[in-house]
Amino acid sequence: MFDDFFTRALVAGIGLAITVGPLGCFVIWRRMAYFGDTMAHSALLGVALSLLFNLNLMLSVFIVAAAVSLLLLLLQKRGALSTDALLGILSHSALSIGLVMVAFMSWVRIDLVGFLFGDILAVSEADIDLVWGGGILVLFAIVYLWRPLLASTVNPELAEAEGLQPERARLYFMLLMALVIAIAMKIVGILLITSLLIIPAATARRFATSPEIMAVLASVIGVLAVTGGLFGSLHFDTPSGPSIVVAAMGLFVLSLLPFGRNGETETAIHSTHGGHH
């Protein structure tokens, strides 16, 4: 069915874009962009561990990303350093330990560029199954967790007081992030995962009137970016991962242009003239 490498890339990329849209919204609502970066960087440590112990790559990346996020929670509870500084330490330590470990393993040669920037054109049918299977799992979980996650994004104490469990929702959210990073690494690479999370969600903000609409729009915009980026990379013979990010950025810049009637001016008209037809 997907015998063409380009079709496979397109199907995998679209699956990933749909999955990360809602997660990306939470990343920007909760101001967790740097956190996403840290988890992604720690993926290289996962790569090294998988080579050392001959583990499944995706599983190993998932475990390391989840462990790093739990470590961050523990360090935050101690409250000595700011989250910013902790993230910087964790992020680059994990990345560097991974690189040092790989250097020690003289018997393996890895395609570092492939891990850092992804190789979507090399996805197999098994990868597609993983992307879509994992993606559907993540989306179901997000729908299930939507209310406690959104309420605790607005105010964790409010959510707690009114019977939702913000701590549990946050833990599940981190596990979902780790899963998405494990899935996305092969497609856009460690360094570009965060951009696929953040840029479509930020673009969607301009057009969204509710959190739910923004989540769906982020997925749609992500799909546009993946499609545009892949066709661009085919046409101009450019690396696919970065091309997708450039396409996403192009859409973001378009969303900044002052065209049409945007929500804010409409509200302003309503409030100045009172009743509006």
Partner 1 sequence: MLRTPDQKPLVLMNNAGVRRNGRWLVRGVEFSISPAEIVTLIGPNGSGKSTTAKAAIGVLKPDEGWVERKPGLKVGYVPQKLAIDWTLPLTVERLMTLTGPLKGREVEEALHSTGIAHLARAEVQHLSGGEFQRALLARAIARKPDLLVLDEPVQGVDFSGEIALYDLIKSIRNQTGCGILLISHDLHVVMAETDTVICLNGHVCCRGTPQMVSQSPEYLKLFGSRAAKTLAVYSHDHDHTHLPDGRVLHADGSITEHCHPDDGHHHDAHAHDDHSDHDHADHLHGPDCGCSQHSRLQGFDTKETRRV
Amino acid at 19: T
Alpha helices in 54-124 (DSSP H): 57-78, 83-104, 112-117
In the complex, what is the shortest distance from the CB of residue 182 to partner 1, in angstroms, rounded to a whole number? 26
φ, ψ of residue 196 in degrees (nearest 5)? -70, -25
Stretch that binds partner 1, among 10-18, 121-129, 201-209, 250-258 (CB under 8 A): 201-209
Residue from 227, 229, 225, 233 nearest 200 by CA = 225
Q: Residues 45, 202, 226, 230: which binds partner 1 (CB under 8 A)?
A: 202
> Three-state SS for 210?
coil
81 binds partner 1 (CB under 8 A): no
54 binds partner 1 (CB under 8 A): no
Q: Which is nearer to partner 1, 105 or 154 (CB)?
A: 154
Q: Which is nearer to partner 1, 207 or 231 (CB)?
A: 207
28 binds partner 1 (CB under 8 A): yes
92 binds partner 1 (CB under 8 A): no
> Three-state SS for 27?
helix
Residues 132-151, interacting with partner 1 (CB under 8 A)? 147, 150-151
> Three-state SS for 1?
coil
50 binds partner 1 (CB under 8 A): no
Evaluate whether 42 touches 191 at the Cβ level (below 8 Å). Answer: no
- The CA distance from 173 to 138, in Å, is 10
Q: Which is nearer to partner 1, 68 or 150 (CB)?
A: 150
210 binds partner 1 (CB under 8 A): yes
Evaluate whether 137 touches 180 at the Cβ level (below 8 Å). Answer: no
- The CA distance from 22 to 96, in Å, is 30
110 binds partner 1 (CB under 8 A): no
Please give the angle made by the CA atoms of 254, 19 and 62, to the nearest 5 degrees.
125
Residues 162-181, interacting with partner 1 (CB under 8 A)? 162-164
Here's the x/- map for partner 1, 236-265, by CB under 8 A: it reads as ---------------------------xx-
Interface positions with partner 1 (CB under 8 A)? 28-31, 147, 150-151, 153-155, 157-164, 202, 205, 208-211, 213-214, 263-264, 267, 271
